[in-house]
Amino acid sequence: MRKAAGYALWMLVLLAAGQASAGVELSLEGETESPVEVMQGEEVLFEVEATGCDNVTAEEWRYAWESGDGARDESGATDTSPCNAAPLEYPHTYDETGDYTGSFVAEYCTSLRGRRCQNWETFDTDEINVTVTFNPDSLIYRYYFDGETWDGTAGEVTDYSGNNLDGTALGAATDDTEPARAGDPGTCDYGVFAGSDRIEGPASGQVANTTSFTLAAWVRLDDAEQNADFPSLIAYGDTANDGFAERFEFYLDRTTAPAEYVLAIRRENGQVRDFAVETGSNGSADPLSGNWVHLAVTYSGASRDAVLYVNGNEVVSDGLKGPQGLADATAGLGLMAHTGGAYSAVGDMDEPRVIDGVLAEADVESLFLETRPCGVTAFDVTAPAEASVCAPAEVTVTALNSKGNAVTGYEGNVQLATSAGHGNWSVLTGNGTLTPDPHTADDGSAEYDFVTEDDGEVIFGLSNERADELEVSVTDPDLGATGTSDPIQFLENAFAIRTVDALGDDLVAGRGHDIEIEALRRDPDSGECGPITAYDGDVGVKAWIDRSGVDPGGDAPVLEAANDSASMPDSQPANDNVAITFNQGLAAVNWQTSDVGQYALNLLDDSSGLVVDTNDDPIPVSGTGPEWTVRPFGFDVAVADNPGAQDAGGPGFLAAGGDFEVTLRAVTWQAGDDADDDGQPDGHSDPDPDGNADLSDNAVAGAFGGSGPEVEVSATLVSGPPDPADPGLVDGPLTANAFASGQDAVTAAYMEVGSISLLADLGGSYLGQARTVVGRSGYVGRFHPELFTAVPADGSFQDECNGFVYIGQDFGYALEPELEIIPRGYVDSGTGPQLTNYRGNWQRLDAGGVNRDYPVEDDNNALTIDVTPEVPGTLLPLGDGRMDYVFGADEYRYVKDEDARVSPFDAALTTAITAIDDGDAALDPDQQPSGSNPLSVTPEGVELRYGRLRLQNAYGPETLDLIVPMRAEYWDDGFTLNTDEGCWLYNTDEDVTLDQSGLSSGSTSVVSVEDQLEAGEPRPGSELQLTAPGKGNTGDVGVSFGVPVWLQDDFDRDGILEDPSAVATFGVFRGHDRIIYWREVQ
């Protein structure tokens, strides 16, 4: 079953008695499948039917309803089972949009004690999902501010909620130069408020009857411009004694740091409860920063919860205490101040809304994202001053915004009417729907639905059999936009002038357009219409043009007939000025233009006598054509000194971010630039410059600039790396609006690497008519970095043995130093942004472009350094324009000499980066060696030791092998055992040299050992050992150990490093040495 409109039915159906099971089924609006959609603010009705109750033994029954939004209702105990209820009902209204789950439960009592149930059992339960959608009828106030000029007249601020709550602007104005959402569609016009400016809306009974609401608006305020500590944004009611609005208000509190958003509501008991949130909370934008911010706040009277949204995102929610009801108000709505002017906010506001009920986050986001075609505030209705009763008059209707430009995206219903109440309408050029169609009622009234494909302009035919003078009016009742034509005089004898060109009424400067002129008359006797066949051959007429009020005053067009031609004057000539060749009343002529303009062609034959009255006196035949708008063919877009690089290998043009001048010329048509004769420059419809018609040699349309056309200049990257960034021009699309003699120039900048194409676009409108005029440049570029900055990573040196390196020993990096190199664009001051397109072929820097100046001495002790660099290093792209330059396997060595005999120290070696240069850009001057912050790397040091290997003299009998002691030492204010030495690999067979000339006879040899020292000394079994020469073979043997330079020393102090050496003496028993004292002389 289904209730009346406005109700939704919740239905619980128990299975019929006698069935195998009993239970409940839940339905909404007769639907049992979830989800069921209902509207916010409309009452819904829960309804329950049940069967099968006899299957249980019940003393009592009770029921509970939950709507899912916090509301709950319980029936209390009853003797009536749900099966006998007829039916159970529970009405409910959802205040908030969103998704909910409604449910019902039926319980029965199995045991009573006295009148109290001791045990409740669940009979059955069911639930269903509900989607509550936004109800357009819940809009209370909705203002757009579009196309309005305010002077304080009551009701001049149109309310589009449907409630006719038109507001009054007190001191405020409208503007459209910097809307919250730019473009078309966008948010269009907005209100500008200074001093105590405000908008006041009449009181609403809908506000008085609701305790749940949503407030929303775009606002832009500058904190420095505010006069009030508590600037009010949206308030309802007059200012009460405590300073708050009578019912509710949303305002800013500037007395805190940072400022706070505040929603204040007044309870029915007079108490004010508020909800305050810091601006900037949770990353939200600050409306006092001078930037547009979309604010919305919701309040639920049911839950007493308030939620703040900033730019469509929920920021915070909180509860407000007190009773549900709100205080009454004696006044209505105040925007940007209370009614009466208290607590005024200085700044801009747009799209204010007051809504009955609470919107869900998705609906608030929709408000934030909402756009529409901008400002259809009026219609331009152009029609000929004279028309024939025998042919439709062309009536062109163009949707206009507040600037008088065509709104090419307009969609809407318009009403057509004539002041005489006569005429039939038809569509000559248009894609929408005419109602009725055909129109034959001869009442002058019809409707037309504009569609996007109309581009905001439609040409209608108005047929009128009466010789009336009438005006045409066009109205969009939803927007309140209207337009009225100048009077049209319908004539019995007239010239009908119409374009028969492939481009229709789209006239292009420099191109000839085919025009047809037909002499028509209605026979006074038969009433039949037809051509005046007497017009045959050359007929002299007076021809001239009437320029419109926005005509820029360009060169006159030329009417070319078959055998004559004439330049058209701006007023009726005294005599015939052109002979038109007719064929049985019909003439084909060509309309030649060399400049832009807007005008209508007038023809008058008052001298031929081809049409006469009953007295044979000549009857003048005249006619006025439709108003023609002659536009430029396109724009020649040129950039001085631009090499036009088509790819990464092309020549450089300018550092990204640098200014360049764009010259625009409005040019006329050339056949070679329009091969398909569509009136548009070939190839200019897409960004790719390849194949673009060259407009540089086209003549300029010198009058373009009159009536203040505005041309938008934008940029598209057309050559760059894969998946490039394309930020557009630095300051967004530019506007050229100072054309003189058909030419203007703007200064542009592009902040990325690559080559671009520039588009000049008239915006779909010229002289109030929908016209497409564009022009594209060729390749502009190559844009390259202005400079490089670099972030060094010092790296570290690698030890060669257990944490140290010997002086004289080669060492390298444990972690190679790196430079993160960042290509940057040009800015006037500070550091330019990173350029992410500097990659692939567009990265022109290679490793060879990084120059390093290696150290020649230690930073701290000035010890001399030899460096063997690996040039170049490695340059690794990081994928976002940045690069990592990684040093190669450079080798360092401290020179070992007498000056290097110092105590251990950590290496301090700095390499300066003297250049990063790709041929276009160089290292930031501040980071160059002469700059304020020179670029260098100083790897983390490693310990350096002056070391040596020392041999000791050895003595023993010639019959036993002899060990020559050796050990590794380093200098630390004297030589000490190097217990960290365990890395040097020695080979006694290869490295030890013996001088046996001191042996009396026999020989000795070195026991072959290959090993490393342990804690600076040989391991047992790996000593330097000489074999016994044999009995009687005595004497001294010189022992020399060939070692690397880092283990050499100047043992004899002659300034030259030597290998360690010692003397092995055979034939001496150590136990009987006559040695009193033994030490090494250093």
pLDDT digit string, tens, across residues 335-346:
999 999 999 999
Q: Which of 50-59, 259-268, 645-654 has the lowest mean pLDDT?
A: 50-59
What is the pLDDT, as a whole number, of residue 132? 82
Distance CA 109, CA 61 (A): 6
More confident: 5 or 642? 642
More confident: 864 or 66? 864
**Contact partners, residue 257, CB within 8 Å, separation at least 6:** none
Encode burial over 1003-1021: b for 16+ CB neighbours within 10 A, e otherwise.
Answer: ebebbebeeebeebbbeee
Pick the CATH number of 787-942 from 1.20.1250, 3.40.50, 2.60.120, 2.60.40: 2.60.40
> Per the omega criterion (within 30 degrees of 0), is the bond before 185 cis?
yes
What is the pLDDT, as a whole number, of residue 449? 97
Domain 634-784 is found in CATH 2.170.240: no
Distance CA 684, CA 131 (A): 49
What is the pLDDT, as a whole number, of residue 938? 98
pLDDT digits (tens, 9 = 90+) for 443-458: 999 999 999 999 999 9
What CATH code would you report for 9-133? 2.60.40.10
Mean pLDDT within 343-370: 92
Q: Dig out the tokens for 282 from the structure.
A: 């949770």
Residue 9 has pLDDT above 60, yes or no: no
> Per the omega criterion (within 30 degrees of 0), is the bond before 618 cis?
no
What is the pLDDT, as a whole number, of residue 44? 81
- Greatest mean pLDDT among 304-308, 323-327, 361-365, 747-751: 747-751
Residue 1078 has pLDDT above 80, yes or no: no
Residue 714 has pLDDT above 50, yes or no: yes
Residue 868 has pLDDT above 90, yes or no: yes
Residue 211 has pLDDT above 50, yes or no: yes
Dihedral sign from CA coordinates of 949, 952, 953, 959: negative
Q: Which of 410-414, 793-797, 842-846, 863-867 has the lowest mean pLDDT?
A: 410-414
Mean pLDDT within 1041-1052: 96
Distance CA 871, CA 882 (A): 21
Nearest residue to 654 via CA among 923, 920, 924, 922: 920
Residue 74 has pLDDT above 90, yes or no: no
Question: pLDDT band at residue 762, thresholds of 50, 70 and 90?
Answer: very high
Mean pLDDT within 239-246: 90
Question: pLDDT band at residue 99, thresholds of 50, 70 and 90?
Answer: confident
Amino acid at the residue 704: F
Residue 965 has pLDDT above 80, yes or no: yes
Amino acid at the residue 603: L
Neighbouring C-beta atoms of residue 718, cutoff 10 Å: 24
* CATH class of domain segment(s) 136-369: mainly beta
- Greatest mean pLDDT among 50-64, 273-287, 684-698: 684-698
What is the pLDDT, as a whole number, of residue 153? 92
Architecture of domain 492-631: Sandwich (2.60)
376-487 matches 136-369 in CATH topology: no
pLDDT digits (tens, 9 = 90+) for 497-523: 999 999 999 999 999 999 999 999 998
Question: pLDDT band at residue 10, thresholds of 50, 70 and 90?
Answer: very low
More confident: 285 or 298? 298
Distance CA 969, CA 714 (A): 75
Amino acid at the residue 763: G
Question: pLDDT band at residue 1079, thresholds of 50, 70 and 90?
Answer: very low
Question: pLDDT band at residue 435, thresholds of 50, 70 and 90?
Answer: very high
Distance CA 963, CA 953 (A): 9
State percent of the chain over pLDDT 90: 71
Burial class (CB in 10 A: 0-12, 13-18, 19+), 699: middle
More confident: 295 or 1078? 295
Nearest residue to 773 via CA among 576, 606, 630: 630
Q: What are phi and psi of 1041, to 5 degrees?
A: -110, 115
More confident: 65 or 414? 414
Residue 487 has pLDDT above 90, yes or no: yes
What is the pLDDT, as a whole number, of residue 213? 93
Question: pLDDT band at residue 321, thresholds of 50, 70 and 90?
Answer: low
Burial class (CB in 10 A: 0-12, 13-18, 19+), 719: buried
Question: pLDDT band at residue 97, thresholds of 50, 70 and 90?
Answer: confident
Mean pLDDT within 659-682: 97
- Each domain of the chain, given as residue ranges in start order, spans 9-133, 136-369, 376-487, 492-631, 634-784, 787-942, 947-1072
Mean pLDDT within 1058-1081: 68
**Contact partners, residue 1025, CB within 8 Å, separation at least 6:** 961, 962, 963, 964, 988, 1006, 1007, 1009
Architecture of domain 947-1072: Sandwich (2.60)
Query: 1010 with 984: CB under 8 angstroms?
Result: no
Mean pLDDT within 742-771: 95
More confident: 74 or 696? 696
Nearest residue to 961 via CA among 1021, 1041, 1040: 1021
Amino acid at the residue 181: R
pLDDT digits (tens, 9 = 90+) for 537-586: 999 999 999 999 999 999 999 999 999 999 999 999 999 999 999 999 99
pLDDT digits (tens, 9 = 90+) for 138-155: 899 999 998 778 989 999
Q: Which of 36-45, 417-426, 938-947 has the lowest mean pLDDT?
A: 36-45
Residue 750 has pLDDT above 60, yes or no: yes
Nearest residue to 188 via CA among 153, 218, 151, 157: 218
Q: Which of 73-87, 491-505, 800-814, 829-843 has the lowest mean pLDDT?
A: 73-87
More confident: 955 or 20? 955
Question: pLDDT band at residue 733, thresholds of 50, 70 and 90?
Answer: confident
What is the pLDDT, as a whole number, of residue 324? 67
pTM summary value: 0.68
What is the pLDDT, as a whole number, of residue 322? 58
More confident: 1072 or 158? 158
What is the pLDDT, as a whole number, of residue 494? 95
Amino acid at the residue 845: L
More confident: 601 or 138? 601
What CATH code would you report for 376-487? 2.60.40.10
What is the pLDDT, as a whole number, of residue 863? 97
Query: 252 with 345: CB under 8 angstroms?
Result: yes
Helices (H), 357-484: 361-369
- Greatest mean pLDDT among 40-44, 97-101, 268-272, 431-435: 431-435
